[in-house]
Structure 1
């Protein structure tokens, strides 16, 4: 199969934003675009959903616990530990009652 050149114009800001994401996947811009085109051919659809480590929202329960913990810290209601082992021991004791 013979290859052809394909040039594309896009905004500099878009290129700056997408490049580090593609690099996280180990891809160059041309490689990613070729994958995109191959997926269109394979599925005969345009893939609009991509898996990537996105920010995820906290559940309401987790958000409430986080806010409670922050208030405890602001009120000085916390314990400091000298070593990691000491902290792990305290967490283990808390978890096991």
Structure 2
């Protein structure tokens, strides 16, 4: 089977973080890239999860409303008397 050379430029910081991970798996960088390319070729998909890119850190509407109310609040005299009251209010918010 014919082979070809492939050169890849990456930032030094990225290389310094990624290569030790390959080494922990007992792989060279070349082997790791070959595994990646093999997976792409065999599955016709990129073998990565992009879940982190979802808006998991974006507050939902209930949280947005609570944040806006908290920002605009100037009177804090109605604080919760006990931690239990606070926890009940948080549970009520979660169930809303």
With normalisation by structure 2, the TM-score equals: 0.50
